[in-house]
Amino acid sequence: MKVLGVNGSHRAGKGTAALLGAALEAAAAAGADTELVELSKLDIGFCIGCNRCMAQTSCALTDDMDELYGKMRAADAILLASPDYFGTVSARTKNFMDRTRPFHMVENVLAGKLGGGLATAGLNNCGGEGTLALIDQWLATHEMLAVHARPAGAPLAPGAIATGFAGLDEGGQPVWRSVKGDAIGFAIARQLGADIVALGARLGL
């Protein structure tokens, strides 16, 4: 089973990459072939709205998205991760979503593949859930099967969201930490990686 991770952060290797990496490590430990793609290292132009993809399963632009289209076709599961920017995905992540339009206007190229979303945010309760909701909507638009990891017992969080918020100081100002300090977010990310492979195995992927 191939699990492709796509990081829509502008900062390769930082918080969002770490959270996605944790999910992919768990998927690899469960037996998957994994790859993490940093969108910020690729040359991917803005969708120009030409609507060519309404008539054919291809994009008018020629750039690094071509190779990524191939990786998405080959993947059994796609994990999409984004930082929370004003309550939704980063512009880089959104443009990636836009550039996948050729995969669902004529035929549903990604239909039946598994998917999952991950988000990082500065603060708790400040947009992380909206970020995940948009990723879920993207998965649904492609007719992908979204996996929502849930721990056994009390649900710890609504999804794989890791934040940099470590409380308020005595003056009421936020104390920041690396998102890697968010034990719950990383636990759910690891569970997402494991669960997606477990579901893939049940489906014979």
Q: Which two tokens stand for residue 109?
A: 């190229």
- Binders of ligand FMN among residues 131 to 170 (CB under 6 A) are 164
Q: How far is the CB of 94 from ligand FMN (least distance, A)?
A: 13
Answer for which of 9, 34, 93, 95 binds ligand FMN (CB under 6 A) is: 9
Is 34 an interacting residue with respect to ligand FMN (CB under 6 A)? no
Stretch that binds ligand FMN, among 9-17, 26-34, 37-45, 51-59 (CB under 6 A): 9-17
Q: How far is the CB of 4 from ligand FMN (least distance, A)?
A: 18
Site size with ligand FMN, rule: CB under 6 A: 18
- Closest CB to ligand FMN among residues 7, 100: 7
- Closest CB to ligand FMN among residues 11, 73: 11
Stretch that binds ligand FMN, among 34-42, 70-78, 114-122, 195-203 (CB under 6 A): 114-122
Answer for which of 42, 52, 64, 87 binds ligand FMN (CB under 6 A) is: 87
Three-state SS annotation for the chain? CEEEEEECCCCCCCHHHHHHHHHHHHHHHCCCEEEEEEHHHCCCCCCCCCCHHHCCCCCCCCCCHHHHHHHHHHCCEEEEEEECECCECCHHHHHHHHHCHHHCCCCCCCCCCEEEEEEEECCCCCCHHHHHHHHHHHHHHCCCEECCCCCCCCCCCCCEEEECEEEECCCCCEEECCHHHCHHHHHHHHHHHHHHHHHHHHCCC
Answer for which of 1, 44, 118, 121 binds ligand FMN (CB under 6 A) is: 121
